[in-house]
Structures are given as C-alpha cells and as structure tokens.
Structure 1
Amino acid sequence: MDTYKLKARFIHPKYWFAWLGILALFLFSLLPYSTLLRLGRLLGRLSIPFAKKRFYTARRNIELCFPDLTPEQVDKKVKMNFEHTGIALFEMGMAWFWPAWRVRGLVSIRGIEHFEKAIRQDKGVVFLGAHFLTLEMGGRAAGLIHPSYAVYRKNSNEVLDYWFYWGRMRENKAMLDRKDFKSMLRALKNGQALWYAPDHDYGKHNSSVFAPFFNVKNANTVSGISTLARVKNTTVIPVFLKRLPNAKGYELVFKEPLQDFPSSDLVLDTTRINEQIELMIKECDEQYMWLHRRFKTRPEGEPSLY
C-alpha cells in the first residue's frame, strides 16, 4: 500500500503531461453522460488517421477471428471499435471520479443470482473477465455490488499507475500485481472474489499455453484460471460489462459458473476459458479491445499473423 501514496517526486516536469490528462478526465467527467458518449465517438473517429498501426492490428484481429466477414464489414467493425475506444477514455474519468449513486443509476444487472449463490455457499469466486473497453467502469460497477480483488499490470508512468490503482480501488479491496500469484491464492482460500482476465498475449512463459480462440487454432493464452480454480471450494463465474445502445447505460452480466472445472488437462481447460470469452465477445464484439496484438506469439516454426 505504501507504494500507492502521493510522492514529492510526482511534481517533476516529466509528469506534468500525465497530471494534465488526469485534470482533463476530471473536468470532462462533470459533463452529462450522453455528451461524453458523443465526444468519445468523435475522438475515436478523429484518432484513426493518427493510429494506423492500431487500425491495422484491430483489422487483422477481426479478420482472423471472423473470416466470413467481407472487407467492408471488417472496416465498419474497426471504425466502431475506435469509437468505443474513444468512449473508454472518458469512462476512466467516470469510473474514477463519479459518486456511487451516479454509477448505480446507469448500470443494470443480469445473472446476479449465480454470484449470490456462490456467496451463500462461502465459495471463493474467480471472476473470469476479458479486456473489454468497458474495463474501468466494469470494475467500479462490480465493486459496488461486492468489493473484491482484481489482477492488474503496473503502468510504467508512476503518476498514471497511482491513479489507475486508486481509481480502481474506489469500491474494491485490493489490486494485485499479475505476478503475485500467492496473494491471489490466499484471497480465494479466504472466500474472496478475484477478477482475472487471461486474454492478452504476454509472450511465452511457464503459465501460458496455446489454445483455440475463435478461428485462430493456436492463441497464446495465460492458463492461470485453471490453477486458481484448483483452490478448494472455488468457482469460476464469467463476468463482463457492456454498453447499451442509445445512451441507456450499461449491463453488468454474470454468467453461469463453469461446471466440472478444472480438469486434469490444462489445454482443455484453457480452451473452455477461451470459449467463454468468445461468448462474451459475441454479445458486443465492437466493445472488445481489438487494438491489442492478441496473436503475436506463435508456436515454433509458425509465421507471424501480422
């Protein structure tokens, strides 16, 4: 916790741009929600000419995952994805600075009974998440229902890392570094809820395996969910937040817990996890983080997909 305190060195000029960004997020968060949506979509569209590499990455990811789409359909999805990315920027300010009543007023809930049942049974719960563009609002909304733990990756900019941490701690118990597996296991053993998203490609390491993801046969995937689920009396519940059309807010979705999980086959378990993430994405594919190079790591001898 001492790491996440304001420090005198944060006033160094190298951090001024970060502080200006935080101030801008706060000021924009004061605007009406519908206005923030319009500004986000506009920002996303305007950013396309300046983010050619990201545009290509998103386009390639969507082509690989949905090969039946025409080039025109792919381009439309990519442009919509950029619009939602723009909205996500303003949502950081909303998630960090809005009062609880304002967040609650925009969020409806589906499937909460699955989580409530697990809590009544004193189970540890792994929230199977994914990198949707609603990530910040999703963490705030879920924390308002049940404060929990979440796994995150530190930001290289200390000021931004400070704000990401404390912004995500508005309602939750703690943020755990993605390498701090012992603390994750301890939280589950104590009957806590832990949010974990295994759908980014962090390169080859001991905790990753290749498993199918949509139409890509070998997607490098973190296998940590399978290990976490082995903690006694632990269940895995897929959870995600999606934006609703026409400025109607958000829906926080709790899916049914995974049955007969984990197994003795790590690749089979990871395949099942990817299948669950696919189902979430299919509900709002334009809101997924396609700008990340999801398939950059390939098996030995396979060419790059980018």
Structure 2
Amino acid sequence: MTHLPQFSRALLHPRYWLTWLGIGVLWLVVLLPYPVIWRIGRLLGWLSMKLIKRRAQIAHRNLELCFPEMSEAERQRLVRQNFESVGMGVLETGMAWFWPDWRIARWSEVSGMGPVKELHARKKGILLIGVHFLTLELGARMFGMQEPGIGVYRPNDNPVLDWLQTWGRMRSNKDMIDRKDLKGMIRALKGGEVVWYAPDHDYGPRTSVFVPFFAVDQAATTSGTWMLARTSKACIVPFVPRRKPNGKGYELIMLEPENDPPLESAEATAAWMNKVVERCIMMAPDQYMWLHRRFKTRPEGVPSRY
C-alpha cells in the first residue's frame, strides 16, 4: 500500500502555525451541539457564495448545462442551497475527522448494508462508488464504521493537512492508496477488499472518454472504472451520503450491487457509470459538488463550456 505520512516535529515549524490555527478553530466548532454546527455551516456557505463568486458562476453554468429545462429561478435557488451545503461540507470534514464513533452513530442511519457485508465476507472485491457529494468525507467515515475498507486519496501539498487527512481517514479505514496507484487498487480488489472510487470528476484528456452526462452529450469521463472492474472482476456498489433537511442528521444509502456491469469497451462502461452517477446525484442534488469544472475537457477543436 501507499507509504502514509507520519507526524513529525517538522510539522510544528512556524510556517505551519496558521494551518494549525485553522485546524484548532475547526476542532472547536465541531465540539458544539450539532444543531448549532448546522446553522454555522449554512451561514459559512452563504458567506462563501459572496466571496468566491467565480465558483458560484461555475456551479450555475454546470446546472445550466445539465438541466437546460430548469427555470432560472430554480437554478438560482439550487445554487444558493448548494453553497449552504459547501459551508456544511467544511464542518462535516471536521466532524468526520474529530468526532468519536458514538457521536457519528447518534446523528446517522445506514440502509442497504447487508449485501455489502455478505460480499465482503465472501472475499469478493467491492469497488465502492462514491460520487463527489459535499458530505463525502463524513459518508466515508459512516461507511468505515460499518465495514472498513481501503480509501483512495490525493496527497495534499501542505504536509500538515496531508498528515491530518490521512489520520482522520484512517480512523475508519484499513489503509489508503494514492488515487494514481491503479495497480494497488487492483491488488486490493483481487484480495477481496472494499476500495473507494470516485468516477464523476473531469480528470483530463489522457485517461478519459467522451460520453453523455445529463444533458451534456460529450462529457469527459474517466476510463478508470472500466480498467478496474475489467481487471479485478470486482462488484460495483454505489453509495449516497445524504444530509437530512432541517439539521436532522444524515443517512447513508447503499444502492444495489452490480456484479455484471457492461465492460465491452471503456465508452460503454463510462456511459453506464454516468447513469449511475446521475441517479445518485438526483437523490440529493443540492449536496453535489457543482462548483467543480466538470466539463473543462472538450474534444479537440470544440470550444470551452466555460
């Protein structure tokens, strides 16, 4: 597996004191009662929409591309709700890393885990599909409390944050794998492990194919799902970590396992996977990461969507 970052005295260097201050503030906030955290998170999201206007424009454009039939008023409302979710996502990351198991369990419920436990007990590799919901960090912790697996991550350029995210995620994972380590993922899947994987972002032209996604007919979509599933013969299981309305907590919903996905080509698998991702997103559209430039990669000669 990946060599994971370890804590060292070098992380206490003055150049990182501002980072540690931010971590300390986050830790203090998530000590508060959850209803208070929920209100602070929504306020933080409202402020962020005012401060990072470019990201709000990207979210609006993504919704415009994906849902051309949506009215402008509906689109504006969804952007506002989405940024409230962005604020909550920051605090939910702190909750995922710092809350004890009993507090996570108190504010969450899980459904559909039975088939996953059965597959895992039979040593069947599981490719766990987690799309980029803003609740994803907390959802991964909720899942790991039920059935620990292997997390896939991108190392952070800040060594303090790199160590912290690894420490936080290892509270409910067996190990972590760099997202570029496909061989490591395949070994884990063949060994009967659960490996988390997110196929819904635009990862550039090198490893992508162009297939439909919502109303966009040529969306750059990773071919990694095809490579992993074809090579490892793993079962594909999507999951949705959804925030309940009005500060009522969370639910982790496991969708039905897929043992026989279409694998005849990278395009066929990607098109099928996008349909699965669409289904997941529509279970909580206000909580999806719309501020990512999902359609930045275009076929050669096709103008930018942004």
- 2:19 partner letter: A
Residue aligned with 1:122, SS: coil
Q: Is the 8 A contact 2:262 2:269 kept in 1?
A: yes
Query: Structure 1 232/157 Cα, relative in aligned 2: closer, same or farther at 3 Å?
Result: closer
Residue aligned with 2:246, SS: coil
Structure-1 residue corresponding to 2:49: 48
Structure-1 residue corresponding to 2:149: 148
**Alignment RMSD (CA, Å):** 1.4
Q: Which runs of 5+ in 2 are unaligned?
A: none
Task: Give the number of equivalent residue pairs.
Answer: 305
- 1:32-71 correspondence to structure 2 within 5 Å: 32-71=33-72
Name the TM-score, length of structure 2 as normaliser. Answer: 0.96
Tell me, in whole angstroms, the C-alpha distance in 2 between the residues paired with 1:10 and 1:208: 37
Structure-2 residue corresponding to 1:268: 268
- 1:180-191 correspondence to structure 2 within 5 Å: 180-191=181-192
Structure-2 residue corresponding to 1:109: 110
Q: Is the 8 A contact 2:127 2:197 kept in 1?
A: yes
- 2:239 partner letter: V
Residue aligned with 1:253, SS: strand
After superposition, the C-alpha distances for 1:178-207 in whole angstroms (9 at most, x for unaligned) are 1111110111111000000011112111x3
Please report how far the alpha carbon of residue 231 of structure 1 lies from its aligned counterpart in structure 2 after TM superposition: 3.9
Percent pairwise identity: 48
Please report how far the alpha carbon of residue 166 of structure 1 lies from its aligned counterpart in structure 2 after TM superposition: 1.0
- 2:220 partner letter: N
Name the TM-score, length of structure 1 as normaliser. Answer: 0.96
Please report how far the alpha carbon of residue 209 of structure 1 lies from its aligned counterpart in structure 2 after TM superposition: 1.2
Residue aligned with 1:123, SS: coil
Structure-2 residue corresponding to 1:227: 227
Q: Is the 8 A contact 1:149 1:175 kept in 2?
A: yes
Q: Runs of at least 4 residues of structure 1 off by over 3 A?
A: none
Please report how far the alpha carbon of residue 86 of structure 1 lies from its aligned counterpart in structure 2 after TM superposition: 0.3
Please report how far the alpha carbon of residue 62 of structure 1 lies from its aligned counterpart in structure 2 after TM superposition: 0.8
Residue aligned with 1:95, SS: helix
- 1:109-258 correspondence to structure 2 within 5 Å: 109-205=110-206, 207-258=207-258
Please report how far the alpha carbon of residue 14 of structure 1 lies from its aligned counterpart in structure 2 after TM superposition: 2.5
Residue aligned with 1:24, SS: helix
Tell me, in whole angstroms, the C-alpha distance in 2 between the residues paired with 1:220 and 1:169: 31
Q: Which runs of 5+ in 1 are unaligned?
A: none
Query: Structure 1 269/2 Cα, relative in aligned 2: closer, same or farther at 3 Å?
Result: closer
Structure-1 residue corresponding to 2:24: 23
Structure-2 residue corresponding to 1:87: 88
Tell me, in whole angstroms, the C-alpha distance in 2 between the residues paired with 1:233 and 1:293: 31
Please report how far the alpha carbon of residue 267 of structure 1 lies from its aligned counterpart in structure 2 after TM superposition: 0.3
- 2:84 partner letter: E
- 1:215 partner letter: A
Structure-2 residue corresponding to 1:98: 99
Q: Is the 8 A contact 2:235 2:260 kept in 1?
A: no
Please report how far the alpha carbon of residue 33 of structure 1 lies from its aligned counterpart in structure 2 after TM superposition: 0.6
Please report how far the alpha carbon of residue 230 of structure 1 lies from its aligned counterpart in structure 2 after TM superposition: 2.1
Q: Is the 8 A contact 1:114 1:255 kept in 2?
A: no
